[in-house]
Structure 1
Amino acid sequence: MSRLSFGRLPRHIGIIPDGNRRWAEKNGYEKQDGYKFGISPGFELYKTCLELGIQEMTFYGFTIDNTKRPSVQTKAFQSACVDAVRNLANQDADLLIVGNTESPLFPKELLPYSKRVRFGRGLMKVNFLVNYGWNWDLNCSLKNSEAGIGGNMANTIASSDISRIDLIIRWGGRRRLSGFLPIQSIYADIYVLDELWPDFKPEQFYRALTWYQDQDVTLGG
């Protein structure tokens, strides 16, 4: 399937890769083992987006709330995020990691990427939410305001370098945003897949894009 198969493509896609723990239990693993099986699907999706000409994608790594899970699970998804970024260094992407870097739960290996870094030819913006929280994100705007940094709120939040999202795709059947970039998601269309994230196949992504063709994008107008 090629780019010409679609009348229009979302410029920016948000990805919520849910279902790793359920997949692990279903396949005879411990819950924490599911996260490492979610790395390869991410790169397959990245390559598919690149082939189609998608300009930007944002991938949900883990949230501040997720770190309330048992430590063995927390360490597992922290490690998976680090491994994913190390693999991305061999690709063509402009990477930005957004999350609370002041927390000890933020992987120190990822600190260099809290400012956008170009890998290879930088063909697509890739944003990775790591130790991210919607409340933390919005509170940065309040802190900037108190520091005398004014202007549009969208320009003063922690995730201000991430643009408005056109389409959000969530795997795993849950019909909620789970705090995913509340400002950028305000006009996003949301497509939910029942398949668990480690079972990703490009056909699932194409299904979402096909559905997107029929959505009325008015941005409130």
Structure 2
Amino acid sequence: MFTFKKRKQSESLDKIPAHIGIIMDGNGRWAKKRMQPRVFGHKAGMDALQEVTIAASGLGVKVLTVYAFSTENWSRPEDEVKFIMNLPVEFFDKYVPELHKNNVRVQIIGETSRLPQATFDAMERAREKTKHNSGLILNFALNYGGRAEITNAVKLIAQDVLDAKLNPGDITEDLIASYLMTNNLPYLYRDPDLIIRTSGELRLSNFLPWQSAYSEFYFTPVLWPDFKKDELIKAIAEYNHRHRRFGGV
């Protein structure tokens, strides 16, 4: 596990990443440590998300993409999946009013057609209520898988070539990016500058594989429900001491 030297906050937060991606991991383990069911951890994780979102907004972050549910998570126990799918409903009722006051705009990426209707409707209400806000974009990756996203983009591009809307020579990195789900984000903020994963795991787990090609990574043993504003500041402080070369020197 990485260890970091203690640094002065004033010298560590000069560069705020415009787009932060978070793999919110460890809810189940957090609950187990407290001898509670896993769903108890997911509920606590929503409280952490609200605090981190408001903190990120105050720091000047433009986009916060959070990995809420992957395409692989359907294999979890049925009761747990049902609970997670109900969280967006609770999120709208409990959390969106406060986020709305903080000028946060809610968006979603993922295969939404498979979501339960109540889940989809709750996210649509959150998106509609906040669509005119001009602050931080809270971008939920819900029923999202990076490989499925790229596969779908390839199919769409192939179809456009067949329909003579595109020539093969037109296909560039920018064009491929425009077919990805993150194309609804502002152009300059589509790719995360920093990706945070909690709980000590050291992998991407199919989260934004195309977009993260030059992202900085921050791994912490802190379980997601315990990841609050001070932990976010630690991650950004570490980001400030990275030198991003994008393949150069």
TM-score, length-normalised on structure 2?
Answer: 0.80
- Work out whether 1:70 is the aligned partner of 2:77: yes
Q: Residues 84-123 of structure 1: matches in 2 within 5 Å?
A: 84-86=91-93, 87-91=95-99, 92-105=103-116, 107-110=119-122, 112=124, 118-119=130-131, 121-123=133-135
| Alignment RMSD (CA, Å) | 2.4
- Work out whether 1:178 is the aligned partner of 2:189: no
Q: 1:64 to 1:172 in 2, by over 3 A?
A: same
CA apart distance, 1:112:
2.6
Say which SS state the counterpart of residue 214 (structure 1) adopts: coil
AA aligned to 2:139 is N
Task: Identify, as 1 or 2, the structure richer in helix.
Answer: 2
Say which SS state the counterpart of residue 152 (structure 2) adopts: helix
Q: 2:159 aligns with which of 125, 131, 147?
A: 147
1:149-189 Cα offsets, whole Å, 9 max, x none, are 65511111233224011001111110111111111111110
1:57-83 Cα offsets, whole Å, 9 max, x none, are 111110110111010110111122332
Say which SS state the counterpart of residue 147 (structure 1) adopts: helix
* C-alpha separation in 2, matches of 1:40 and 1:115: 19
Task: Name the structure 1 match of 2:181.
Answer: 158
Say which SS state the counterpart of residue 183 (structure 2) adopts: coil
Residues 88 and 123 of structure 2 are in contact (CA less than 8 Å); yes or no, is this contact kept in structure 1?
no
Residues 24 and 30 of structure 1 are in contact (CA less than 8 Å); yes or no, is this contact kept in structure 2?
yes
1:43-69 Cα offsets, whole Å, 9 max, x none, are 111111111111111111101101110
CA apart distance, 1:89:
4.6
Say which SS state the counterpart of residue 181 (structure 1) adopts: coil
Task: Identify, as 1 or 2, the structure richer in strand.
Answer: 1
AA aligned to 1:62 is F
* C-alpha separation in 2, matches of 1:42 and 1:198: 8
Task: Name the structure 1 match of 2:5.
Answer: none
Say which SS state the counterpart of residue 246 (structure 2) adopts: coil
Q: Percent identity?
A: 29
AA aligned to 2:19 is H
Q: 1:43 aligns with which of 46, 50, 55?
A: 50
* C-alpha separation in 1, matches of 2:231 and 2:98: 25
1:125-154 Cα offsets, whole Å, 9 max, x none, are 121000111122112212211331655111
- Work out whether 1:31 is the aligned partner of 2:38: yes
TM-score, length-normalised on structure 1?
Answer: 0.89
Say which SS state the counterpart of residue 159 (structure 1) adopts: helix
Q: 1:114 to 1:183 in 2, by over 3 A?
A: farther
- Work out whether 1:60 is the aligned partner of 2:72: no
CA apart distance, 1:32:
2.4
* C-alpha separation in 2, matches of 1:97 and 1:161: 9
Say which SS state the counterpart of residue 178 (structure 1) adopts: coil
Residues 3 and 53 of structure 1 are in contact (CA less than 8 Å); yes or no, is this contact kept in structure 2?
no
Runs of at least 5 residues in structure 2 that lack an aligned partner in the other structure? 1-7
More deviation, 81-90/175-184 = 81-90
Runs of at least 5 residues in structure 1 that lack an aligned partner in the other structure? none
